[in-house]
Structure 1
Amino acid sequence: MQQKLKVLPGIILSLMIAILAVYIESILPGHYIGSTVIAMFLGILFRTVYYDEDRLQEGVQYASKKILKGAIILLGASLNFSIILEVGSQTLLVLVFTLLTAFGGGYLLGRLFNINWKLSNMIAAGTAICGGSAIAALAPVIEAEDSDVSYAISSTFLFDVLMIVLYPIIGTLLSLSDTFFGYWAGTSINDTSSVVAASFAFSEVAGEVATMVKLTRTLAIIPTVLIFSTIYYRKKREQPHLRKARVSLSGLVPWFIIIFVLMALFNSVGLISPEISGGMKTVSRFLMVVALAAIGLKTNISVFIKTGFKPFIHGFILSSLVVVVSYIVVFFVIG
């Protein structure tokens, strides 16, 4: 009981920040900035002004780890594999090229800028799939530092804000069709809310196409977390004291990822009703806001200063590469 009470202050603070972030998002024009990003920055700001580590740390740790895992599990209930059949093979071909560009380019840029592989791959996941959600899903799988999570989300967020403004302008200047613009925006802008904002600003049809493509792209979270779970497990087993350890499913794929995948499968075959799926998605989104608030509370701004601007440059170059590759592939595949 004493232990449970000890986590309450940190959880309550994370919850209050999350509620404030959701409110701020609701009053901002256009909803260009998601509540997860707002919550993370509010957490960082709160820590910078005041942070009682003795009272808050255990609850903040709980929110940033366990509540985040709960959010990821519930996120699975909103994923549906049947959407792949709706968008067709052309969309998948474009997505394959953008995913290869993001992760291949992320690896090379990480080596070039001497950025640790966890931060580099979280930036790549955010760029390739769906911004903060993909980063948050990947972070516990590779046991990433909270400062790296904050850095990765920040670097992809800044590019997203720029794209919301520039995409409709570029699309108009190039006289792109609604369908072309929808595919381009859906496969190259990071966060879902940013895709919706930019594409609907161009046209209603472009917005509908982009949203459908983006939902398909979000499914890439599943193979990504499974692949990186395997990679990280193999990296850990390279350590001398773990080389002879038995291979176990729980070590290879974390338990919450197994449930996450099962939830997606249940939703795809119709075992979860649309109403329940929608409700679980809403709860998942809010829990992720709470977790990101906690991650912000655990992030010391001095770490940002020490790391420097390299991750931001990494994210900017990588996102730019995805934008260009997506445009070229859509031009040749979709027409």
Structure 2
Amino acid sequence: MESSHALPVKPLPRVLAGTRRAGRASGAVLPGLAVAVAVALPAAWLSRLVPTVGGPVFGIVVGALAGALLRRMAPRGTAERLRPGFAIASRQVLQASIVVLGTGLSLSDVLRVGVGSLPVMLGTLAMALLGAWAVGGLLGVHSETRLLIGVGTGVCGASAIAAVTAAVGAAEARVAYALGTIFTFNIAAIVLCPPIGHLLGMSQEAFGLWSGTAINDTSSVVATSYSYGTEAGQYAVVVKLTRSLMIVPICVALVLWRSFGRRAQDARQDESAGRRIWRAFPVFIIGFLLASAAATYDAIPASWEPALPVISTFLITLALSGIGLSLKFSKLREAGPRPLLLGAILWAAVGATSVGLQSITGQL
């Protein structure tokens, strides 16, 4: 006897159509994603040989070169067929990398740094963001490029650029310019900061605070501060992790600002403010906060801890490989040297602000 509560069954043609659509979608994405992985693997290997450069920078450089070769040598239309996979790498994989990044950032680290270091961190962040807006405007640098260089200088280099790119969908050429600028001044910091620290007679803690707030990428902070001393290195890493937390409010503020700006141009005035905030809030930021909370309360198995930073770095490298593969050098030439000049001015201003605030607060 047939049950009156039988579950509804979709017609077979509809099921088959849905399966075919899913198959076509995966078929469109997988080739490009596979190429991005093929670029990311040697980029990750190169970063082990030259750790001060880092996988993300190698990823976008190798990706850009590989993309140029594909467009020149592959059969016509190949690059366009691979583009959906590149887009997945540069968006969804990028967002996943930020979530995994949160597992290495315990919220309790903020408390260990102490209230005394917060004026220096907040002051240098304000200098980077306001300086990028003001100086970049005077130089005629595109607003997206200004934003990326500002957060890269003020927060944590490639990771901050990746997070903001995931939040606002910045153009590939502007991401490449920002990463190139940040990389240039990371190398300058490794060479110049230790001698300047000795010249100024900085203590281990003072140099750790300075390098943690004035140098961009974590790898460069570690290389620079540990060359000054073990105590400086340990303090700089904690400062750097705490500084990285600013990714969250910056990304949320950017997404909300852009979302409300777009809504204002639409006719959807009946939508409540709460619903607009929920629609605008980036899911990957929620994941980042949950991952950080898990790290804070020791909810992550100890056996996973060595692998998670490696996974996060590789995912960022994969994402930036996808961005590099989509990049066209003609777009870079259009911007000229002005972004690099902006990065130089911000780097010097943030370093001087950090020293000045330490002097004012008695930490130098």
TM range (shorter): over 0.9
Deviations 1:176-235 (A, max 9, x none): 222211111111100000011111112222212211211111111112111212222222
Q: How big is each residue's C-alpha offset from its partner over 1:58-95, in whole Å with a ceiling of 9 and x where there is no partner?
A: 11111111111111122222221100111100111210
How far, CA to CA, are the matches of 2:351 and 2:268 in structure 1? 41
Is 1:38 paired with 2:64?
Answer: no
1:236 and 1:242 in contact (8 A); partners too: no
Q: Deviations over 1:272-303 (max 9, x none)?
A: 34443543332122111100001011111110
Q: Letter of the aligned partner of 1:8 in structure 2? A: L
- Which amino acid in the other structure matches residue 235 of structure 1? G
Residue 268 of structure 1 corresponds to 296
Q: Give secondary structure in 1 for the equivalent of 2:167.
A: coil
CA distance in 1, matches of 2:25, 2:267: 32
- Name the residue aligned to 1:283: 311
1:313 has 2:341 as partner: yes
- The 1:243/1:42 distance shift into structure 2, 3 A limit, reads farther
- CA offset at residue 243 of structure 1? 5.0
Residues 78 and 278 in structure 1, CA contact (< 8 A), matched pair in contact too: no
Alignment root-mean-square deviation, CA = 1.7
1:13 alignment partner in structure 2: 35
- Pairing partner for 1:74 from 71, 78, 100: 100
2:46 alignment partner, one of 12, 24, 29: 24
For 1:327 and 1:292, the matched residues in 2 are separated by: 33
Question: Is residue 223 of structure 2 the alignment partner of residue 197 of structure 1?
Answer: yes
Alignment of 1:120-159 (within 5 A): 120-159=146-185
Letter in 2 for 1:45: L
- Please identify the structure whose Cα radius of gyration is greater: 2
Runs of 5+ consecutive residues of structure 2 not aligned to the other structure: 1-22, 72-77
SS in structure 1 at match of 2:146: helix
Aligned to 1:96: 122
- Give me the identity figure in percent: 32
Normalised TM-score (structure 1): 0.94
Specify the code of the residue in structure 1 equivalent to 2:327. Answer: T
Alignment check: 8 A CA contact 1:43 1:296 kept: yes
Aligned to 2:67: 47
The Cα offsets for residues 107-128 of structure 1, whole Å up to 9 and x where unpaired, read as 1123212333222111111001
**Equivalent residue number for residue 324 of structure 2:** 296
| Count of residues in correspondence between the two structures | 333
Partner of residue 284, structure 2: 256
For residues 246 and 303 of structure 2, the distance between their equivalents in structure 1, rounded to whole angstroms, comes to 24
| Preserved contact between residue 70 and residue 79 of structure 2 (Cα < 8 Å) | no
Task: Identify which range, 150-159 or 186-195, moves more after superposition.
Answer: 150-159
Residue pair 1:118, 1:142 contacting (<8 A) in 2 also: no
CA contact (8 A) 1:267 1:277 kept: no
